[in-house]
Structure 1
């Protein structure tokens, strides 16, 4: 399990994250949501070990993050940044194979490429092996990067807890691709036992696919729990300054969120520093 407790991060002498936290269990998909500037990416980076929090601690499988050796950590968690721009050309298959770097010298010949192709198939990019990554659309590049992190945590045996940390994986995807991608993540959580922490902006996708939702506002943890208990009209108003209705359509298992034209303090001029 990933545990991040009482996380605080200061920047330029100001708190941008304070007393925030999240837990992610194996087989669980957790959606991290909140308005722009709420601290989602900062919390994800702290969990990933990309930044060291000024307060609090992060542990993976009961071991403090700083105590993990780099190679061991790479085998249990993989990170997908919001946007990864390569400054040079590279075949797509080579990019995906980079995810297998922690296993270098531990796999039989040809197995690394087999795993890379399997992961490309999972993200809908079969046959893209020899394409130059820089010629792909923004959405295709993001899916190729997702294939890379899937390759990183792929194992022949499903034993051992593994985690994906994803910063807006649906960015640049069309409406159908967003559904397919979240369906894939849901399947990986259910069938492969991956623990997944992902930043999402689409509240209906969070409602549909997440086991739990963590709502941040102004660098603080506002609410955490099952989607239907967090994504209420009150929760959406508090977290986003937006009026919304949560409605159930006959025959549908889950409710839908309908945002209203009238905002509640949407552009309020509040101080962004955290006390």
Structure 2
């Protein structure tokens, strides 16, 4: 029996069909008129959004705007009150859990494990959807490549529980990369990272998009979103205030209103990517304050 026949038989028994590599620009995730309610409160309202193969889509907005909720709904981890979500052209609820795991991978805000698994074993967990298929033959290579990309190889044997917050975040990302799903959903992957590793993570996002994947990433750093995202969706009070290329939608007035903080947006002198800077009132000098106080006495 040939490899193709064995593969077909194995996947049939496990009720899985391996997704074909997406065509550039293909819609890998589609959200139409999505509403989500949590605890009786409407958290998302009327969301329309598409993630396409070959692009990085950043979800930005202030705390409580609905970014993580939107990502969780897209991952099928939260039910929709109404509206539609499609992954790889089918309603998300039509996919079995094993088939969905072959199509989208999810990085939550925080990674916690109850047992002290070694780092390499944690990364290898990302290969679980491929168990029982000939693609499992690539597990060791894929795990090694994911650890190298996220710079965690040097502590592959250390317990996950012994790592710093930033190290855990990179191991969790390595697990997502090892899963090799064409749709990556990343919730604040840079939150615990230093400057070097923030840039590393966003470069990885760009590399995955260049390889044909769709990357949806929640970011708080508007500078990172402007520098690395093809499109950004600005969320405000559970709705999308605007969406498009950062150079077009990062506007002083809009961002100042959404974040309730005056900001300035200007082009970087090299490259032209938008830079978003809060407007700050310079504090009075200590000498000036002392003088003023002395004069009042």
TM-score over 0.5 (shorter chain): yes
Q: CA deviation at 1:249?
A: 4.1
- Within a 5 Å distance, the mapping from 1:1-275 to structure 2 comes to 1=27, 2-107=29-134, 111-153=138-180, 162-190=182-210, 192-261=211-280
Higher relative contact order (CA 8 A, sep 6+): 1
Runs of 4+ aligned structure 1 residues displaced above 4 Å come to none
Match of 1:265 in 2: none
SS across alignment from 1:42: helix
- Structure 1, gaps ≥5 residues long: 155-161, 263-275
What RMSD over aligned residues (CA atoms) do the two structures have, in Å?
1.5
Q: Distance in 1 between matches of 2:241 and 2:276?
A: 19
- Give CA-to-partner distance per residue, 1:200-219, whole Å, 9 cap, x none: 00000000000000011111
Q: CA deviation at 1:250?
A: 3.3
Q: Distance in 2 between matches of 1:151 and 1:70?
A: 18
Q: Which range moves more in the overlay, 75-84 or 6-15?
A: 6-15
SS across alignment from 1:258: strand
- Structure 2, gaps ≥5 residues long: 1-26, 282-297
Instruction: Give the TM-score taking structure 1 as reference length.
Output: 0.88
Q: Distance in 2 between matches of 1:105 and 1:204?
A: 43
Q: CA deviation at 1:110?
A: 6.1
Asked if the contact 1:189–1:196 (Cα under 8 Å) also holds between the matched residues in 2, the reply is yes
Q: CA deviation at 1:102?
A: 0.9
Structure of higher CA gyration radius: 2
Asked if the contact 1:102–1:152 (Cα under 8 Å) also holds between the matched residues in 2, the reply is yes
SS across alignment from 1:127: helix
Q: Distance in 1 between matches of 2:38 and 2:65?
A: 14
Q: If each structure's helix is expressed as a fraction of its own residues, which one has the higher value?
A: 2
> Residue 165 and residue 109 in structure 1: after superposition, are their counterparts in 2 closer, same or farther (change >3 A)?
closer
Asked if the contact 2:31–2:48 (Cα under 8 Å) also holds between the matched residues in 1, the reply is yes
Q: CA deviation at 1:261?
A: 2.4
> Residue 249 and residue 47 in structure 1: after superposition, are their counterparts in 2 closer, same or farther (change >3 A)?
closer
Asked if the contact 1:93–1:116 (Cα under 8 Å) also holds between the matched residues in 2, the reply is yes
Q: Distance in 2 between matches of 1:149 and 1:109?
A: 16
Q: CA deviation at 1:194?
A: 0.9
Asked if the contact 1:117–1:129 (Cα under 8 Å) also holds between the matched residues in 2, the reply is no
